[in-house]
Structure formats: C-alpha cells, structure tokens
C-alpha cells in the first residue's frame, strides 16, 4: 500500500474517525506535521511554551506530570479539574492545534475506562487523542473505546519505542498492528518509528488498503540521543525515509531553558520547515 505517498488532504477525506480527520485537516491547513511534546513540571512554563509554538504545530502532546504526584489509581478520584486544562483548551482554540495526552494506558479494560473517563484529569473530555501500551492485549482497546468512541476520540497504540533496547519490536509490533486492525474505528494509528503497512501479514495475504497514522517521537536535528537511552533521528529520516506522518519533538525545541520563548518559537519554525520539506519530498517523488 502506498497511501502515505498521497497528500494529507487526500488522506483526510477518507478518514472516518473524527480525531484522525481533524489531525490531517489541521496538518494541511497549517502546513505543519510538527507536534511539540511539552514535558515540563511548571504549569507556567507549560502554557508559555504552548503559546509560543502554537502557531507552528498541528498537535500538542501533553504529559500531565501532575499525575505522577499521586500513587497508582488515585487518578480515578472524581471532582478535581485543574484550571490548567481550561487554559490548554483555550490555547488549542486560539492556535488551532489537536491535543494528544500521552497517557500510555496499560491496565485491564475496566480500570483504563475509569482512568480515561473519570479520575483527576477526565482525559476523554479534552484530549482528541490518547495512547495505550499493548501489553494487556485487546481489552485495553475495548475499555478505552467504550469511553472514547462515543466522544469521537481516537487511540494510538505504542507499536515501537524510540529508546535503546526497546522490547516493542518483532512479534510484539506485529501483534500491536493486528490489534489495531480489529478496532479500526477507534485505533487511528501508532506511536512508532516507521510505516506499519502490511506488518504482520503473510506474504500472500492481501489487505484492504489501510491508512494508519504514524506519530513518531525521538526526533532531533542537533544531537543523536540523551544520557538515558533516548535516540534521535532527523525529520528527513523519519518522514521521507521511514514514511511517518507526524514528528514529535520535545527538548529539541524547548531545550535547556523552557523560559526563552523567542528561541523556542524559532526552533519550532526550524522543525516545522524540516518536517514539511521532508513531506513534500515524499509526496512529490
């Protein structure tokens, strides 16, 4: 299948899931396949970075660090709505970007449904996209889908990881793709390092054309990794050579000092241009 050689516009027209369609339309409208990952502990920095990069991104990947202050499952407690989420939604409207909460759900169906719908953050009420590990098997999708599908949300499965020594490879990745195929209405794509077309199918098996979105972290223009196993590739390697759709960049953009908004905006423009050039090269072959 060569659907990724088509333009984002053409692919948006065929998408049935509202969150996937919105992402492709936003990429097209803003001519940006850049997602910024905002992993900072201070709410003030969090909002300032998003306001600075907002005009240049299709998507903001949030990781609500707040949950890490609590022990497991306490995020099922109701009635705690941080104003931060309202500010995030206001910025999403102001700058026209999709919101992806990098929650990495990985529990039994009943528990993830509670964590997704209720809990401290009520993720399903504000995040267009979220993600899950495949370790629990298909029930993690059934659980999340019972909450997210009626709201028009979409799920990404972690099929591969960017880290050195990742266990998500080979037959694990194939199983992830099979799980996604069984839940095509809710699973819109993968967090992965390459295109997943035909993964896990036999040599003579023909598949209906599938167009999973591939969102790819581990992207950097200046360094090859960090001291904790992260590995970076360039936007060109990721989008042109590996056929991925969205580059997810964190520290490459907000760098050492999350308070330097001018340099953050300049870096965002640099990555946006690199990601878009790689896309144009891919679709104009």
Q: Which residues bind ligand S5P (CB under 6 A)?
A: 37, 39, 63, 102, 161-162, 191, 217-218, 230, 248-252
Residue count of the chain, please give it. Answer: 285
* Smallest distance, ligand S5P to C-beta of residue 229, A: 10
Please pick, among 44, 104, 164, 224, the residue that the annotation labels catalytic. Answer: 104
Nearest residue (CB) to ligand S5P, 218 versus 243: 218
Is residue 104 flagged as an active site residue? yes
Q: Are 113 and 144 in contact (CB under 8 A)?
A: yes
Nearer to ligand S5P, 12 or 157 (CB): 157
Instruction: Please say which residue, 61 or 282, places its beta carbon nearer to ligand S5P.
Output: 61
As measured in angstroms, the least distance from the Cβ of 60 to ligand S5P is 11
Does the active-site annotation cover 102? Answer: yes
Answer whether 227's CB lies under 8 Å from 251's CB.
no
Catalytic annotation, pick one of 75, 107, 197, 245: 107
CB 56 within 8 A of CB 78: no
Residue with tokens 């035909």: 198
Q: Is 230 annotated as a binding residue?
A: yes
The minimum distance between CB 38 and ligand S5P, in angstroms, equals 8
Q: In the annotation, is 45 catalytic?
A: no
Instruction: Give helix then strand counts, H and E, for the chain.
Output: 10, 8
In the complex with ligand S5P, the residue whose CB is nearer, 12 or 123, is 123
Instruction: Select from 171, 121, 179 the least CA-distant residue to 155.
Output: 179
Residue number with CB closer to ligand S5P (199 or 248): 248
Residue 271 contacts residue 247 (beta carbons within 8 Å): yes
The distance of Cα 77 from the centroid of its chain, to the nearest Å, equals 26
> Any binding-site annotation on 148?
no
What 3-state class would DSSP assign to 184? coil
89 is in an annotated binding site: no
Q: Are 144 and 152 in contact (CB under 8 A)?
A: no
Q: How far is the CB of 115 from ligand S5P (least distance, A)?
A: 17
List all residues 6 or more positions away from 184 whose beta carbon is below 8 Å from its beta carbon.
Answer: 210
The one catalytic residue in 21, 61, 75, 102 is 102
The H or E element containing residue 129 is strand 129-132
Q: How far is the CB of 104 from ligand S5P (least distance, A)?
A: 7
Confirm whether residue 162 is marked as ligand binding.
yes
Find the residue with minimal CB distance to ligand S5P.
250
Going by C-alpha positions, the residue among 56, 36, 55 that lies closest to residue 46 is: 36
Residues labelled catalytic: 102, 104, 107
Annotated binding site for substrate: 39, 162, 230, 250-251
């Amino acid at each position: 299948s060569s659907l990724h050689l088509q333009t984002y516009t053409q692919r948006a027209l065929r998408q049935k899931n509202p969150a996937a369609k919105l992402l492709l339309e936003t990429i097209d409208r803003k001519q940006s396949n850049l997602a910024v990952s905002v992993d900072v502990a201070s709410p003030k920095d969090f909002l300032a970075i998003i306001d600075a990069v907002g005009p240049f991104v299709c998507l903001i990947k949030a990781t609500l660090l707040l949950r890490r202050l609590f022990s497991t499952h306490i995020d099922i407690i109701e009635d705690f709505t941080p104003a931060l989420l309202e500010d995030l939604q206001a910025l999403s409207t102001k700058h026209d970007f999709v919101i992806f909460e990098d929650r990495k759900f990985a529990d039994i169906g009943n528990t993830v449904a509670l964590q997704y719908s209720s809990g401290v953050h009520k993720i399903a009420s504000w995040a267009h996209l979220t993600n899950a590990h495949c370790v629990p098997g298909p029930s993690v999708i059934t659980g999340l889908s019972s909450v997210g599908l009626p709201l028009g949300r979409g799920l990404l499965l972690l099929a591969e990881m960017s880290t050195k020594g990742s266990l998500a490879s080979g037959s694990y990745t194939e199983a992830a793709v099979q799980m996604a195929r069984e839940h095509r209405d809710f699973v819109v794509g993968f967090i992965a390092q390459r295109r997943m077309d035909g993964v896990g199918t036999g040599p003579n098996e023909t598949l209906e054309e599938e167009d999973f979105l591939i969102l790819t972290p581990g992207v950097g223009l200046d360094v090859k990794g960090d001291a904790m196993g992260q590995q970076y590739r360039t936007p060109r390697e990721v989008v042109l050579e590996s056929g991925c759709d969205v580059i997810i960049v964190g520290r490459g953009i907000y760098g050492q000092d999350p308070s330097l908004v001018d340099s953050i905006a300049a870096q965002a423009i640099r990555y946006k241009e690199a990601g878009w050039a790689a896309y144009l090269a891919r679709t104009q072959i």
